[in-house]
Amino acid sequence: MAKPFQKPGKRRALHSKACHSDSDLRRRMREYLADLKRRRYSPKSIDIYGRAIADFAGFIEGDGPVVLPEITRQQIEAYRLHLLDRGFRPASVGVYLRGVRNFFGWLRERQLLFVDPTEGMRAHREPRLLSHVPTEEDVRRLLAAPDTGTPTGLRNRAYLEVLYATGLRREESLRLEVGDVDRENATVRVMGKGNRERVLPLGSGASTWLDRYLADARPRMQKGLDSDALWIGKDGAPLGYPAVAGILRSMSIRAGLEHLISAHAIRRACATHMLRRGAHPVQLQMLLGHASMRHLSQYLHLTITELHEAHAKSRPGQ
């Protein structure tokens, strides 16, 4: 994806001061982002929306300050073409336009303008390919890959088991603390996007390996450090993203898998395998921490595609 803030061209450079003035557009932008923060949107979402709206403001104010109610649909369309000219992929253009549409929708809801120039505007998207989902056999081989005779291997097995049992996002898994685990009830408390808390069952396999990690491996890895983090390295410090990526890569290779498996691939596997085994989509939505059913479409699409393939192969009625 191209960088969102590129060096302004000649047309925009003539009005750089106007672009950075405290215009009505930029004041409303700050109010909108502050409102998202109050409504507990994730920092990542706020950052993406902020960059999109700031980039739009820089483009729209290229010829001087603008009045919000006077922004037209034609100007929004010109901005879309401007993003494409800068080398943005259609999917990235969609992300930026969604940020702009949400902003104008917010303005309309608060009666700060009466006509939304983005209303009815649809993003131009590239065809979305279905992501690779590890099979149940892939996951079994991955779970069996760690050498559980060592503290780090025992940690790796417990970590993989917990990811697959709960469908946690990578960020959620690394924010876990020891106190979030209820060993008696075999559950884990997770703080997800938008500071939405959920309590998830671990299942017998994940619970057993997590108990072994907490009882045998983690105390030996602490090295005298007093950390509340559930997942720690052999130096006693909390695991970070690079360490997790390294663990998943090495375990995928050790398992002899055709595709390297990421934390998100395990999340997809958890969701897809549960659907295949009869889980209700609403239950899956609660497990994964999705705000709406729309986010389950990729998993439902995959299982429906497989159903069509099975139907074609079996040729019922013939």
Just list the catalytic residues.
169, 193, 264, 267, 290, 299
Angle at 76 between CA 73 and CA 77, to 5 degrees: 90
Give the H or E element holding residue 311: helix 297-314
Nearest to residue 172, comparing CAs of 294, 261, 36, 42? 42
Find out whether 123 and 97 touch, Cβ atoms under 8 Å: yes
**Is the separation of the CB atoms in 49 and 4 below 8 Å?**
no
Residue 202 three-state SS: coil
Compute the distance between CA of residue 99 and CA of residue 49 in angstroms, rounded to an integer: 5
What Rg value do the Cα atoms of the chain yield, rounded?
A: 24
Tell me which H or E stretch contains 240. none
Could you give the residue ranges of the DSSP H alpha helices within 41-72? 43-60
CB-CB neighbours of 61 under 10 Å: 20
Cα separation, 15 vs 54, in Å, equals 15
Which residue, among 245, 238, 261, 263, has the nearest Cα to 169 in the 3D structure? 263
Structure tokens at 265: 């691939």
CA 49 to chain CA centroid, Å, is 14
Six-digit token pair at 188?
């884990």
What distance in Å separates the CA atoms of residue 203 and residue 170, rounded to the nearest whole number? 19
* Residue 44, C-beta contacts closer than 8 angstroms, at least 6 positions apart: none
